[in-house]
Amino acid sequence: MTGDLSPFINTGPLPSFSDNYTGEGPGNQIGERDNSPVAYDEDLANRVRELIAGEGGVVEKRMFGGLAFFLVAGNMSVSVSGQGGLLLRIDPEQTDELLGKPHAHPFVMRGRPMDGWLRVEPEGVRTRAQLQRWVARGVGYAKTLPPK
């Protein structure tokens, strides 16, 4: 991945995420969410939660000013965007290919497109099948990365 995302990560009072994460114990596990106000589509977040409920090692965190990120073994995989739709982590080598898919756009940070990240418009995740394809791609790629 190109670019440093650390300036955009909410460092507020979130549960800690241990480098020794095993998928067990405290830390915003799926189903253990706080109910503070958020700036993303809660219905879409619930649909993503439903799709990844059976995945081991998935943790949900709020980052980037209020987005629900789903981390797999500490690696970001998919997020419900406050701008609508999804932010998705993908294999950087597949960025150009996936930008040809309907409703997929580059994820731009500080005016620069980020290889390995896509923004998918809400129209691209309206059906369960559409959402499942994108979520599977993000979670699948995150599983290929070493645990954090």
In the chain, the largest separation of any two C-alpha atoms, in whole Å, equals 40
- We report the CATH number of the domain holding residue 128 as 3.90.1150.30
Tell me whether residue 25 is in a domain. Answer: no
Q: What is the pLDDT of residue 81?
A: 85
Q: What is the pLDDT of residue 16?
A: 31
Per-residue b/e over 6-22, b at no fewer than 16 CB within 10 Å? Answer: eeebeeeeeeeeeeebe
SS3 41: coil
Tell me whether residue 19 is in a domain. Answer: no
Averaged pLDDT of the chain: 77
**Tell me: the pLDDT tens digits for 36-88?**
555 778 899 999 999 998 888 888 887 765 566 789 999 999 999 888 899 99
Q: What is the pLDDT of residue 5?
A: 39
Tell me whether residue 97 is in a domain. Answer: yes
- Look up the domain containing 92 and give its range: 32-143
Percent of the chain at pLDDT exceeding 70: 70
Tell me whether residue 7 is in a domain. Answer: no
In DSSP notation, 47-95 reads: HHHHHHTT-TTEEEEEETTTEEEEEETTEEEEEE-TTSSEEEE--GGGH
Tell me whether residue 20 is in a domain. Answer: no
| Averaged pLDDT for residues 18-43 | 50
Tell me whether residue 69 is in a domain. Answer: yes
In the predicted model, is pLDDT for residue 25 greater than 50? no
Q: What is the number of domains present in the chain?
A: 1
Q: What is the pLDDT of residue 131?
A: 97
Tell me whether residue 126 is in a domain. Answer: yes
In the predicted model, is pLDDT for residue 20 greater than 50? no
